[in-house]
C-alpha cells in the first residue's frame, strides 16, 4: 500500500510538472513595439495595444517581474466603524519610450524605468486634502512642446491636475516644474470660481492635450448645495498656461456677468452648473474635445435648476481652439438620479455601409452604450425616447421621456422586483424580499421620493469611470460593469435638521447629504442583506463584449468571486462590484482588475474564457496598461494596486508589473 501510494504521488507530480512544461513557449520578439502615451493608451481612449507577445497560449505563464512601492497610502478616517475618507489608487500610468509615469493619490508624480521599475525621479505637488472626500489621481498627460528647442528644459512636458485645483507642468525628463508655465510651473484653477468649501473643488482626472491646447474640467463634490462651484471647462496654452477660452455650461441664450460673492472672491462662471470630472478624449484632425458631463447641483433634486441642466449627463463636443459647442448628446434628461456620464468617451472607426465613419462610444451608469458619429453627434443606431414615470415630489418636474439605445440593448437589467430578491438561504432571501417590497421600484427612472425608492442600476453603475476598450481587429468593445441596487430617500428639511443635530450631539458625522438650498437632504445606501451581500440577483459584476458592427452582445461572463465578501471565504464566481476598466491587445487577450477580490485577470477577447489570474497585494481598482519599449524587450502588463477605501478593498501603494519569464 505504501509503495502504491508513493508511486501514485510520483506519477501525479510528474504529470503536474509535464503540464507546467507544456505551457512553456519561446518569447516572440518579432511583434510590435508599443507604448502607452495617454491615460486611455492614446487621445482616442481606445485602451488597445498592438502588442502581440502575450498570447492566449502563453498568458498563463505571466509572473510578477517587479513591484514599486510609492509610499502614498493610508487607511482612511473611520467614524462609527465605517471608513469615510481614504485613498483610492485609481491611476493608470503612461509609458513614453522607456519611462513609466505614475501619479499617486496625493499628487506625487514618479518616473520609473519601464523595464525594471527603478525610480528615476519624484515630484510632490503637496496638495491640501482638507475636506477631500476621496483622495485620488487617475493620471497625467504627456506632450511635446514645439515652442521649446528639442532637448531643452520642458521640451517634453507632463501635466497633472491636483486635488486643490492647480494645473502643474513638469519637465518629463527631470520632474522639475516648468517655470514658464503659469506661475512657477502651476496655474490656479480656482481663480474665478468663487467661494468653495474645503475639498469641494479639485481635479482628479488628466487633462486633454490637442493641437497645443490643454483642456480641463474639475470635480465638484456631489449633493452639497445648490450654489456649488460652477462646472466650467477651460482651455489653456500648453506652452505657457495662459487661459485661451472657457466654456461656462449654460443653456443657449443664458449668460453670466462677472460678479463678487459674499466672501469677496471674484466669480466669473455661473454657480451650480454641470461639471466635467472624468477623462476627456480628443480628435486632433477634427480639432474636437469630447467632454463627458456630470450632474447639475445637486444630484437628486432639480426643482430649482432653472434649465441649468441643459448640458448635464451628456457628451459635449467642444472646438479645441475656441471652446464653442459643436454638438451635444444628452444621455439622461433632467437627471435627478446621479446618472452622470462617468467614463471617457472612446473614439473608433465604425464600419458603415459607405466606408468607415469616425465614431464615439459612450458607456453610462445605466448600462447604456451609445454609438454616435463623432462629427455630428448623430446616433449610428436608433435611439428611442420612451415614456418614464413622472410622479415625483410636488416641487419637481421630471422629463416625461428618456433616451434608450436600441443597439446595443441595455447591458444592465432595468428593474428589480420582490421576486428577484436573492439570498444564500431562505432567511436572508426573505429579508431582501421585504426590503425591496417596501421601496418604490419602477425601473431606473423611478421618481425620487421621501418614502424611498430602488435605484437599479445604481449610482455606482453599470459602467463607471473605467470606460471600455476597443479591439479594432475583432470589432469588439470590451467592458466591465457592476450590477447592485441602491436604496435612496429624500429627507424633508425639518427632519434632516433634527437628524443632523442628533448626529452632532453623538459626536458623529451626519448620515445625510445636505443638498443645501433645496427642500430635501438625501440618504443613500446599497440594498444589502444583514450578511453584507447584495439583494439583487448575481452576477453583481460582469465582463462582456459588444460587436460594434451590429450592436450585438458577443459574450458575457461573471467578473470576480465573493471570497473577500461572503461570510465564508469561498471563491464562488458570482461576479462582484468593480471599479476600473478593461484593456485589449492585438493578440486577442484582454485584461481587467477592478474587482473586490483583488485579482488581475486575462480573458480571451473572442470568447470570454478566463485564461489567467494573478492575486494582487492590494485592491486593483484601476485600469491596467500594457507596453513593450523596444525590439529586445518583453511585453509588460502593469497595474496600480492600492485599493479603494470607500469600497473597503485592501489598501496599498503597489505598482505591479507582469511579464513572461525570461529564458522562455
Instruction: Please state, in angstroms and rounded to a whole number, the distance separating the CA atoms of residues 436 and 273.
Output: 34
Query: In the Cβ-directed half-sphere of 530, how many Cα atoms lie within 13 Å?
Result: 7
| Three cell numbers, residue 32 | 510590435
366 neighbors 332 (Cβ within 8 angstroms): yes
- Closest by CA to 628, choosing from 593, 601, 594, 660, is 660
Instruction: Please state, in angstroms and rounded to a whole number, the distance separating the CA atoms of residues 498 and 518.
Output: 16
Collect all residues with Cβ–Cβ distance below 8 Å to 137 and sequence separation of at least 6: 90, 91, 103, 104, 105, 106, 107, 160, 162, 163, 204
Q: Is 547 a catalytic residue?
A: no
CA 104 vs. chain centroid, Å, equals: 16
Q: Is 601 helix (H, G, I), strand (E, B) or coil?
A: strand
Residue whose C-alpha cell reads 459674499 in the numeric block: 262
| Three cell numbers, residue 471 | 479591439
Instruction: Please state, in angstroms and rounded to a whole number, the distance separating the CA atoms of residues 190 and 503.
Output: 32
53 neighbors 29 (Cβ within 8 angstroms): yes
Cα dihedral 512/514/519/522 (nearest 10): -30
Q: Which parts of 265-345 are beta strand (E)? A: 266-267, 281-283, 288-292, 314-319, 325-330
Instruction: Please state, in angstroms and rounded to a whole number, the distance separating the CA atoms of residues 522 and 449.
Output: 10
Q: What is the DSSP letter of 462?
A: S
581 neighbors 469 (Cβ within 8 angstroms): yes
Instruction: Please state, in angstroms and rounded to a whole number, the distance separating the CA atoms of residues 525 and 541.
Output: 18
262 neighbors 308 (Cβ within 8 angstroms): no
- Closest by CA to 521, choosing from 551, 489, 543, 545, is 489
- Closest by CA to 603, choosing from 616, 593, 617, 618, is 593
Choice among 145, 338, 428, 653 that is catalytic: 338
Q: Which parts of 331-484 are beta strand (E)? A: 346-352, 355-363, 369-373, 383-387, 401-405, 453-455, 468-471, 476-482
Q: What is the enclosing helix (H) or strand (E) of 210?
A: strand 208-210
Other C-beta atoms lying within 10 Å of the C-beta of residue 431: 17
Residue whose C-alpha cell reads 503536474 in the numeric block: 16
Other C-beta atoms lying within 10 Å of the C-beta of residue 172: 25
- In SS3 terms, 76-112 reads as CEEECCEEEEEEECCCCCEEECCEEEEECCCCEEEEE
628 neighbors 634 (Cβ within 8 angstroms): yes
Q: Where in the sequence numbering do the catalytic residues fall?
A: 338
Amino acid at each position: 500500500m505504501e509503495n502504491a501510494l508513493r508511486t501514485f504521488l510520483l506519477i501525479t507530480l510528474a504529470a503536474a510538472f509535464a503540464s507546467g512544461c507544456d505551457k512553456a513557449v519561446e518569447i516572440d520578439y518579432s511583434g510590435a513595439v508599443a507604448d502607452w502615451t495617454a491615460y486611455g493608451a492614446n487621445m482616442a481612449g481606445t485602451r488597445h495595444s498592438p502588442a502581440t507577445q502575450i498570447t492566449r497560449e502563453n498568458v498563463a505563464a505571466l509572473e510578477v517581474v517587479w513591484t514599486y512601492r510609492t509610499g502614498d497610502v493610508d487607511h482612511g478616517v473611520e467614524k462609527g466603524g465605517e471608513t469615510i475618507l481614504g485613498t483610492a489608487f485609481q491611476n493608470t500610468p503612461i509609458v513614453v519610450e522607456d519611462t513609466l509615469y505614475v501619479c499617486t493619490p496625493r499628487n506625487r508624480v514618479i518616473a520609473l524605468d519601464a523595464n525594471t521599475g527603478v525610480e528615476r525621479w519624484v515630484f510632490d505637488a503637496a496638495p491640501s486634502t482638507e475636506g477631500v472626500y476621496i483622495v485620488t489621481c487617475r493620471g497625467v498627460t504627456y506632450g511635446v512642446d514645439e515652442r521649446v528647442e528639442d532637448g531643452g528644459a520642458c521640451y517634453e512636458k507632463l501635466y497633472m491636475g491636483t486635488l486643490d485645483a492647480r494645473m502643474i507642468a513638469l519637465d518629463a525628463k527631470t520632474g522639475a516644474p516648468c517655470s514658464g508655465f503659469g506661475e512657477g510651473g502651476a496655474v490656479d484653477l480656482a481663480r474665478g470660481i468663487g467661494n468653495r468649501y474645503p475639498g469641494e473643488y479639485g481635479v482628479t482626472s488628466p487633462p486633454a492635450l490637442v493641437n497645443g491646447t490643454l483642456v480641463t474640467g474639475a470635480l465638484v463634490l456631489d449633493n452639497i448645495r445648490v450654489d456649488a462651484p460652477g462646472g466650467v471647462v477651460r482651455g489653456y496654452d500648453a506652452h505657457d498656461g495662459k487661459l485661451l477660452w472657457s466654456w461656462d455650461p449654460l443653456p443657449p441664450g443664458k449668460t453670466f456677468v462677472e460678479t463678487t460673492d459674499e466672501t469677496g472672491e471674484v466669480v466669473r462662471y455661473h454657480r451650480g452648473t454641470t461639471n466635467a470630472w472624468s477623462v476627456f478624449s480628443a480628435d486632433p484632425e477634427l480639432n474636437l474635445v469630447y467632454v463627458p458631463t456630470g450632474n447639475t447641483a445637486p444630484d437628486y433634486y432639480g426643482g430649482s435648476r432653472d434649465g441649468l441642466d441643459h448640458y448635464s449627463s451628456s457628451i459635449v463636443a467642444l472646438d479645441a481652439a475656441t471652446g464653442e459647442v459643436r454638438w451635444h448628446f444628452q444621455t439622461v434628461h433632467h437627471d435627478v438620479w446621479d446618472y452622470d456620464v462617468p467614463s471617457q468617451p472612446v473614439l473608433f472607426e465604425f464600419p458603415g455601409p459607405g466606408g468607415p465613419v469616425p465614431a464615439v462610444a459612450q458607456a453610462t451608469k445605466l448600462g447604456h452604450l451609445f454609438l454616435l458619429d463623432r462629427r455630428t453627434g448623430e446616433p449610428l443606431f436608433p435611439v428611442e425616447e420612451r415614456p418614464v414615470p413622472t410622479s415625483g415630489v410636488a416641487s419637481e418636474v421630471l422629463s416625461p421621456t428618456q433616451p434608450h439605445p436600441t443597439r446595443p440593448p441595455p447591458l444592465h437589467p432595468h428593474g428589480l422586483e420582490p421576486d428577484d430578491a436573492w439570498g444564500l438561504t431562505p432567511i436572508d432571501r426573505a429579508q431582501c424580499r421585504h426590503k425591496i417590497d417596501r421601496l418604490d421600484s419602477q425601473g431606473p427612472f423611478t421618481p425620487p421620493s421621501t418614502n424611498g425608492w430602488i435605484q437599479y442600476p445604481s449610482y455606482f453603475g453599470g459602467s463607471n469611470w473605467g470606460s471600455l476598450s476597443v479591439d479594432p481587429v475583432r470589432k469588439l468593445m470590451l467592458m466591465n460593469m457592476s450590477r447592485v441596487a441602491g436604496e435612496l430617500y429624500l429627507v424633508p428639511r425639518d427632519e434632516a435638521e433634527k437628524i443632523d443635530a442628533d448626529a452632532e450631539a453623538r459626536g458623529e458625522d451626519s448620515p445625510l447629504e445636505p443638498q443645501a438650498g433645496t427642500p430635501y437632504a438625501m440618504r443613500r445606501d446599497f440594498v444589502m442583506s444583514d450578511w453584507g451581500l447584495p439583494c439583487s440577483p448575481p452576477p453583481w459584476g460582469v465582463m462582456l463584449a459588444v460587436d460594434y458592427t451590429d450592436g450585438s452582445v458577443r459574450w458575457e461572463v461573471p467578473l470576480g468571486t465573493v471570497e473577500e465578501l461572503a461570510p465564508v471565504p469561498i471563491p464562488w464566481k458570482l461576479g462582484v462590484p468593480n471599479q476600473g476598466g478593461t484593456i485589449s491587445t492585438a493578440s486577442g487577450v484582454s485584461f481587467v482588475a477592478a474587482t473586490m477580490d483583488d485579482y488581475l485577470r486575462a480573458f480571451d477577447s473572442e470568447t470570454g474564457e478566463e485564461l489567467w489570474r494573478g492575486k494582487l497585494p492590494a485592491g486593483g481598482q484601476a485600469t491596467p496598461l500594457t507596453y513593450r519599449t523596444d525590439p529586445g524587450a518583453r511585453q509588460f502588463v502593469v497595474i496600480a494596486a492600492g485599493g479603494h477605501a470607500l469600497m473597503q478593498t485592501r489598501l496599498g501603494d503597489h505598482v505591479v508589473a507582469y511579464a513572461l519569464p525570461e529564458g522562455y
